[in-house]
Amino acid sequence: MCLVIVSILELFWNTCMGRKAAVFPFRAQVHIDLVCPFFRCRQVQETAELVLLPYNYIVDPQLRKLHKIDLAGSIVIFDEAHNLENICEDVTSVEISSIHITLAIQELKDAIQCLQSEIEEKACEMDRSSVPFGSGVLDAEQQKRSYFQINDAAILLVCFIILVDFLTSYDWFQSQLAQVRSEFTRGVQSKKGAMFFAVCRGKVSEGIDFSDACSRAVCVVGIPFPPLMDIRIHLKRLYLNELKAKDQMTQSAEDWYVTEGYRAVNQAFGRVLRHANDFGVVALLDER
């Protein structure tokens, strides 16, 4: 057993777990006791009266089991609940990229080729031994088209036209938002003012606070409906239509689609009013 780990755990139990709970900054406690913040968080959450968690730590049963989160007898409050539906869908969804599909197809081709070669070898051995057989040689390509519905031309043309933008790093990409916000703030503080362009359903329109003079007007151009041809949106609409056919009280796919568009509009408009005394102008620019 590693003596270093033993000493760290011993220090953790003697300094943190043996002490009566006190209300002071967690960072200060970790620095004073020189203990690992990870162990401290994992331990105190089991007896804490208030625990703040991301959505997925609550709705995902595997994460709840991993972190020993027991919801029995607890009061669960979801803040920003308009995002809960998307979080639940993400937890129960699996994303398969075109790269994974291409690799799977290639593995199938290799397996079929091996199977075809083995059948041909067995047929030749049986033929040399003058053993009659009543089945023909397996046509791998024909079976591939019949059973897997795969066309080589379609596979080759799936990603025929691609536009790729290369950035120096992911950190650089993330830092651009902070830089743009800094420039926007300087513009707001000046007499000339500033204009900030962003997309609906993004970090700016749903997660950043523009209170007071930082936002006296919000304009939304068009209605930000979800992408209709997106496979997840398409499957969600099919699912809602199936539920609607069974129960007329269920929300229809069309109603859900419209609601999603206006929900994004309301989130964007919410950037201008952040407290009771805040004020501003909201404008929806759309020819409809």
Domain boundaries, the chain: 4-13+31-92, 96-127+146-192, 195-287
Phi/psi for 283 (5° steps) reads: -140, 135
**In the chain, what is the straight-line distance between the N-terminal and C-terminal CA atoms, in Å?**
71
Nearest to 144 by CA among 123, 113, 119: 113
State the chain's mean pLDDT as an integer.
72
Q: Kindly list the distances between the CA atom of residue 135 and the CA atoms of 115, 125, 126, 209, in Å, as whole numbers in the listed order.
A: 15, 14, 12, 72
CATH of 195-287, one of 3.40.50.300, 3.30.70.260, 3.40.47.10, 3.90.1150.10: 3.40.50.300
Task: Compute the distance between CA of residue 13 and CA of residue 33 in angstroms, rounded to an integer.
Answer: 11
Q: Which helix (H) or strand (E) holds 236?
A: helix 231-246
pLDDT digits (tens, 9 = 90+) for 47-76: 778 888 888 888 888 888 888 888 888 888
pLDDT the model gives residue 133: 39
Using 50, 70 and 90 to split pLDDT, how confident is the model at 223?
confident
pTM: 0.46
Average pLDDT over residues 94-105: 88
